[in-house]
Structure 1
Amino acid sequence: MNALVDIRRLRRSFGGPAVLDGIDLKIAQGEFVALLGRSGSGKSTLLRVLAGLDTAPAQKLEIPARRSVVFQEPRLLPWKSVIENVALGARKPDARALAGAALADVSLSHRRDAWPLTLSGGEAQRASLARALVRSPDLLLLDEPFAALDALTRLRMHDLVFDLWRKHHPAILLVTHDVWEAVALADRILVLDQGRFSHEIRVDIEHPRRRGDPQASLIETGLLRELGVELSHV
């Protein structure tokens, strides 16, 4: 595997038991990886290290320089228009033109001059995604970006992220609590438990993946069990 991300023996603690306890992680160029785990398992800590927002000792820590993050909250600056917010991610002389193209990618051109506070939740998250994509990242980090959205908007965002991934083909690490979201989108799913990877599975199912597909349902049920959830009707 041609690894874009290569981490070995990564450890992070905050004065108590290790939040990340000597983990190894490789992500290939263009691979879509989902990360599941209970609250407090270390998912967001790992993402922050990959984003360069936190430091941690490791035997090896290779992360591409071009990387972007989309958080659960859009984090748009309310005093700047949508296109100005997106252009902040480009950091280039032609930032505004790049921002316009990124907004077109997420079907938000018609809101380019709007103020962030006038956007719906789905529109604000699309603007945040455009701001991340405008840098043409090699690694796109998604930290539960759909958690605050209603169910229908979340499904639309799934389709949008998949289409953008297929078009631009960055490596993606998606941190999520939604097991179906991981099954629907990812090539590979990791489960983090007490600072270590406790489970890994490849999802070799063609897209689009639909609930009710026997293979997808089997993977979803197995992952839920790994997370301590037993379904009485299964």
Structure 2
Amino acid sequence: MSHVVDIQGLTRSFGGPNILDDVALDIAPGEFVALLGRSGSGKSTLLRIMAGLDQAPARKLVLPARRSVVFQESRLLPWKSVRENVTLGLKVTNAAAKASKVLQEVGLEHRTDAWPLTLSGGEAQRAALARALVREPELLLLDEPFASLDALTRLKMHTLVADLWRKHKPAVLLVTHDVWEAVALADRVLVLEHGRFSRQIAIDLPHPRHRADARAAKIEAELLEELGVGAEPSFQQEQV
């Protein structure tokens, strides 16, 4: 199978110990991969390299030309409307029509002409997601896009992202601190520790996934243990 992402021997340092140390990663077309790790483990560094925002030596670095990023902050330009933010830099003749379609998909058709500062946190992240998807990426990079949202809005965004992923079928790399978020959404979960992947778990469970499912709860517990968090995963995750 050809891969959308094929990285071999990727190393990155900032003058000290390697943040990424001989990393190898492949992602298949349409695969949803979640990346977990403690703060400072190199998760966002890897994502930034994959987004083309940073550079590092690698034996092999194959990435698709069409890739989009959604960050923890929406990064919307406050002096442009939601529609203008979504189409920013989009050089196609039917940009407005494409924006209208994707804004409807994320539930913002009624906020097309709104200014970003009038949006709620969830709405702003929906606009950022629309801006990423309107470019029809082969690879969608999500850098903790739900971390600043309240618990209920975060759960709604999980459902939205899962639905949009199934509809548009990009490969996805989600960087997150939320173990349940990774289990709920991903086909495969990787744990990054000291610049290398310490654990990889494939999740072959139907969507939607629930903590009441003993199989999902077992995977969550294994990942929490790998991260050094310990027992009682449901309670601990709900307190994040």
- For the aligned pair, the TM-score class normalised by the smaller chain equals over 0.9
Q: What letter is aligned with 2:231?
A: L
Once the two structures are TM-superposed, the CA of residue 119 in structure 1 deviates from its matched residue by 0.3
Deviating 4+ runs (over 3 angstroms) = none
Does 1:198 find its partner at 2:206?
no
Residues 67-216 of structure 1 correspond to what in structure 2 (within 5 A)?
67-88=67-88, 90-216=90-216
Segment of structure 1 superposing worse, 56-65 or 92-101? 92-101
SS in 2 for 1:78: coil
Partners in 1 of 2:102 and 2:233 — Cα distance? 44
SS in 1 for 2:230: coil
Q: Match for residue 221 of structure 1?
A: 221
Q: Match for residue 13 of structure 1?
A: 13
Q: What letter is aligned with 1:141?
A: L
Once the two structures are TM-superposed, the CA of residue 200 in structure 1 deviates from its matched residue by 0.0
Q: 1:139 to 1:104 in 2, by over 3 A?
A: same
SS in 1 for 2:228: coil
Q: 1:233 to 1:227 in 2, by over 3 A?
A: closer
Q: Where does the alignment leave 5 or more consecutive residues of structure 1 unmatched?
A: none
Structure-1-length-normalised TM-score: 0.98
SS in 1 for 2:90: coil
Q: Percent identity?
A: 71
Q: What letter is aligned with 1:82?
A: V
SS in 1 for 2:40: coil
Does 1:3 find its partner at 2:3?
yes
Q: What letter is aligned with 1:81?
A: S
Once the two structures are TM-superposed, the CA of residue 2 in structure 1 deviates from its matched residue by 2.3
Partners in 2 of 1:225 and 1:197 — Cα distance? 15
Q: Match for residue 63 of structure 2?
A: 63
Q: 1:233 to 1:151 in 2, by over 3 A?
A: closer
Once the two structures are TM-superposed, the CA of residue 93 in structure 1 deviates from its matched residue by 2.6
CA contact (8 A) 1:90 1:98 kept: no
Once the two structures are TM-superposed, the CA of residue 232 in structure 1 deviates from its matched residue by 5.7
Q: What letter is aligned with 1:59?
A: R
Partners in 2 of 1:131 and 1:106 — Cα distance? 10
CA contact (8 A) 2:83 2:112 kept: yes
Partners in 2 of 1:110 and 1:89 — Cα distance? 23
Q: Where does the alignment leave 5 or more consecutive residues of structure 2 unmatched?
A: 235-240
Once the two structures are TM-superposed, the CA of residue 233 in structure 1 deviates from its matched residue by 8.4
CA contact (8 A) 1:6 1:60 kept: yes
Partners in 1 of 2:227 and 2:86 — Cα distance? 36
CA contact (8 A) 1:20 1:42 kept: yes
1:49-86 CA-to-partner distances (Å, cap 9, x unmatched) read 00000000000000000000000000000000000000
CA contact (8 A) 2:75 2:128 kept: yes
1:89-134 CA-to-partner distances (Å, cap 9, x unmatched) read 5332322221111101101000000000000000000000000000
